[in-house]
């Protein structure tokens, strides 16, 4: 039988030219055989492209539609209202980031999107906040903390109150989808299905609303992409990209592959935390978004990380004599905080020329 590491090496060498579509109908099937078949497809995707679409997932389309309308309503606010919740007012990367303020590639001039970062709300996940308080009481602090979100005041944003309610539904649906993928990831890694259960009790889950304003057909400077080439930091991202295309994924030959919009699907992409945790058995793949042309583009990534206090130590199936540990162990929270600080500190120091 081919070992996981040997299969990973083989698939890395074969590259990819398309993003697979995986049907989640059997994710919770009572038949282990069906779940294993599905996990095999997921394994192929995670070892090769690091990206896959999921269809027949359990998240109701009405929830997604309402999240897009919340996003449009937020980004239509006057800039002064959005700036009341600027990310600089948060110690924890929550809040608004204006056009051109983010730069994944320091060679660029800034990116043609604005963003609003929203974490778990204390009302939505009281147990997560209680767990954090308990740890603090025992003298332990997590490096990356769960914290309150920044919301525009109701006088600035008429819809604010509605959306607090919407948030509960959105987050719990996406959290559930994220959690339901872990048994499949475990099977894909030749681990017991419940391997990750105790590691995703208080997960880091950040929803990001993104707006790429329409630039018309004006020639866009290559140094102002929609979002520059990057990999994501968490375990994986659940991305809903609406109906305006723009996302591209880079294969190992350097070719940019269009991630077309497929109604009713999410894109799942592996992030650096999972690649590191699995000793690079799972691959975290570079991607970017082009600036929007004739229509504004809205997309909603939901970044799913494991509990902050989990040490990223590769499971036994991911380590062989030929593939010893590639990274120093670090807790998940520390790792993500380090990566976020790199990007956000660069942003603060940067002068665009």
How far is the C-alpha of 351 from the C-alpha of 191, rounded, in Å? Answer: 47
Q: 292 or 319: whose CB is closer to ligand AKG? A: 292
Rounded least distance, CB 198 to ligand AKG, Å: 28
Rounded least distance, CB 267 to ligand AKG, Å: 8
Q: 277 or 298: whose CB is closer to ligand AKG? A: 298
- Give me the count of residues in the chain: 353
234 scored as a contact of Fe ion (CB under 5 A)? no
Taking CA atoms, 283 is separated from 12, 21, 160, 192, 215, in Å, by 9, 17, 38, 21, 33
- The count of residues interacting with Fe ion (CB under 5 A) is 1
Rounded least distance, CB 269 to Fe ion, Å: 7
Rounded least distance, CB 98 to ligand AKG, Å: 15
Rounded least distance, CB 197 to ligand AKG, Å: 27
Cα 45–46–47 angle (5° rounding)?
A: 95
Q: 85 or 240: whose CB is closer to ligand AKG? A: 240
- In the complex, the residues that contact ligand AKG under the rule CB under 6 A are 208, 210, 227, 232, 239, 241, 247, 287, 289, 299, 301
Taking CA atoms, 144 is separated from 76, 236, 339, in Å, by 31, 17, 11
Rounded least distance, CB 151 to Fe ion, Å: 24
Backbone angles phi and psi of 14, in degrees to 5 = -90, -15
Q: 189 or 267: whose CB is closer to ligand AKG? A: 267
Whether 208 contacts 238, CB under 8 Å: no
Q: 51 or 157: whose CB is closer to Fe ion? A: 51
Contacts of Fe ion in 142-161 (CB under 5 A): none
Among 111, 121, 232, 307, binds Fe ion (CB under 5 A): 232
Beta bridge partners of 289: 227, 247
Look at residue 5 and give the partner it binds from ligand AKG, Fe ion, none, a contact being a CB closer than 5 to 8 Å depending on partner kind: none
Q: 232 or 280: whose CB is closer to Fe ion? A: 232
Whether 144 contacts 333, CB under 8 Å: yes
How far is the C-alpha of 48 from the C-alpha of 67, rounded, in Å? Answer: 31
Look at residue 247 and give the partner it binds from ligand AKG, Fe ion, none, a contact being a CB closer than 5 to 8 Å depending on partner kind: ligand AKG
How far is the C-alpha of 272 from the C-alpha of 234, rounded, in Å? Answer: 6
How far is the C-alpha of 305 from the C-alpha of 328, rounded, in Å? Answer: 18
Q: 121 or 232: whose CB is closer to ligand AKG? A: 232
Q: Where are the alpha helices (DSSP H) in the chain?
A: 4-14, 32-47, 61-75, 79-83, 126-137, 160-188, 272-277, 332-349
Rounded least distance, CB 70 to ligand AKG, Å: 16
Whether 86 contacts 96, CB under 8 Å: yes
How far is the C-alpha of 306 from the C-alpha of 318, rounded, in Å? Answer: 18
DSSP secondary structure code for residue 311 in this structure: B
Q: 106 or 137: whose CB is closer to ligand AKG? A: 106
CA 137 to chain CA mean position, Å = 30
Rounded least distance, CB 254 to Fe ion, Å: 18
Closest chain position to ligand AKG (CB): 299
Interacting residue ranges for Fe ion, rule: CB under 5 A: 232
């Amino acid at each position: 039988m081919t070992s996981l590491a040997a299969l990973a090496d083989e698939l890395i060498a074969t590259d990819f030219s398309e993003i697979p579509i995986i049907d989640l109908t059997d994710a919770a099937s009572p038949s282990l055989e069906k779940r294993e078949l599905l996990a095999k497809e997921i394994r192929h995707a995670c070892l090769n492209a690091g990206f896959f679409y999921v269809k027949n997932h359990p998240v109701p389309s009405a929830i997604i539609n309402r999240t897009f309308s919340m996003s449009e309503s937020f980004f239509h606010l006057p800039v002064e209202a959005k700036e009341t919740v600027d990310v600089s007012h948060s110690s924890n990367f929550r809040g608004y980031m204006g056009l051109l303020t983010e730069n994944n590639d320091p060679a660029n001039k800034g990116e043609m999107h604005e963003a609003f970062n929203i974490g778990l709300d204390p009302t939505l996940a009281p147990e997560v906040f209680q767990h954090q308080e308990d740890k603090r009481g025992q003298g332990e602090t997590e490096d990356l903390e769960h914290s309150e979100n920044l919301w525009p005041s109701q006088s600035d944003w008429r819809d604010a109150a509605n959306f607090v309610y919407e948030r509960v539904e959105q987050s719990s649906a996406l959290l559930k989808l994220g959690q339901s993928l872990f048994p499949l990831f475990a099977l894909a890694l030749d681990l017991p299905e419940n391997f990750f259960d105790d590691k995703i009790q208080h997960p880091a889950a950040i929803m990001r609303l993104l707006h790429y304003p329409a630039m018309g057909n004006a020639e866009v400077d290559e140094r102002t992409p929609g979002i520059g080439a990057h990999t994501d930091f968490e375990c994986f991202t659940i991305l809903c990209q609406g109906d305006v295309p723009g996302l591209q994924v880079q294969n190992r030959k350097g070719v940019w592959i269009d991630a077309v919009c497929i109604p009713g699907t999410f894109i799942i992409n592996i992030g650096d935390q999972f690649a590191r945790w699995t000793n690079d058995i799972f691959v975290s793949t570079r991607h970017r978004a082009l600036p929007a042309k004739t229509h504004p583009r809205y997309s909603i990534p939901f970044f799913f990380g494991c509990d902050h206090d989990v040490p990223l130590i590769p499971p036994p199936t991911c380590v062989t004599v030929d593939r010893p540990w590639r990274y120093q162990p670090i807790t998940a929270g520390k790792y993500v905080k380090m990566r976020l600080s790199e990007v956000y500190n660069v942003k603060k120091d940067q002068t665009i020329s």
